[in-house]
Structures are given as C-alpha cells and as structure tokens.
Amino acid sequence: MIKQFFLISKKPELKASEFRQYYESHHVPLIKRLLPMFARYRRHYLDRENSALASGQPDPGFDAITEIWFSRPADYDAFIERVSDPEVIAKIRTDEANFLISDATRSLRMETCE
C-alpha cells in the first residue's frame, strides 16, 4: 500500500485547538471533495502538553502528521495528477493560508509492508 505523509506546521498565532478545529471542519471536507481517490485519510495531532516535549525533548518542528493511503498505484498516480492541476492546488493553498504554513509542510511517500 502506498501512503503519503505530510508533516504540517500550524500558523504560530493559532492555538492548537483552533488549528485542529479548522483542519477538521474546513480543510478535511475540501480535500475529500477535491481528492476523492484515496482509501484513508488520517490526521495525528502533536500533544505538546503530555508528550516527551514537556520533559525537554527538542521540538520536532511540526504540529500534525497527515496520512493519505492509496489502495492501488493508479489511485496514487491520479492523486499526483490532480494536485498538479493549478486550479486544484490553488484551492488547497488558499485554504491552507487560514491555518498552516504551506512552505513548512514536508511530504513523504512511503510504502507499507506487513
């Protein structure tokens, strides 16, 4: 299975709860509408108060990890083609400007073996 991981940094002026609320209420529906070819779409939010960060670990430099799973290589290819469309990426970037730092986002393609 192919997965695309995104390491995402919130805008500094937002509280973690505001970031999460916007992501879940606004960005997730947009992504599901624009990019329906994925099999799963998960978000994991960093818990700064109750994690190793609270005990002095270095900050990882991101606030959320997003996973998008693809059942077939053709679905991943369709995803890449769709996000290469200037109109689609413009809609995504416009929404991202409300809650995250687009330039800080890191994207990683992974393949899972079980």
Label residue 112 by pLDDT band (50, 70, 90): confident
pLDDT in tens, 54-105: 566 777 889 999 999 999 999 999 999 999 999 999 999 999 999 999 999 9
How many angstroms separate the CA atoms of 85 and 91, rounded? Answer: 10
Q: In what order do the strands lie in the sheet with 106-111?
A: 40-45, 64-70, 2-8, 106-111
pLDDT at res. 113: 76
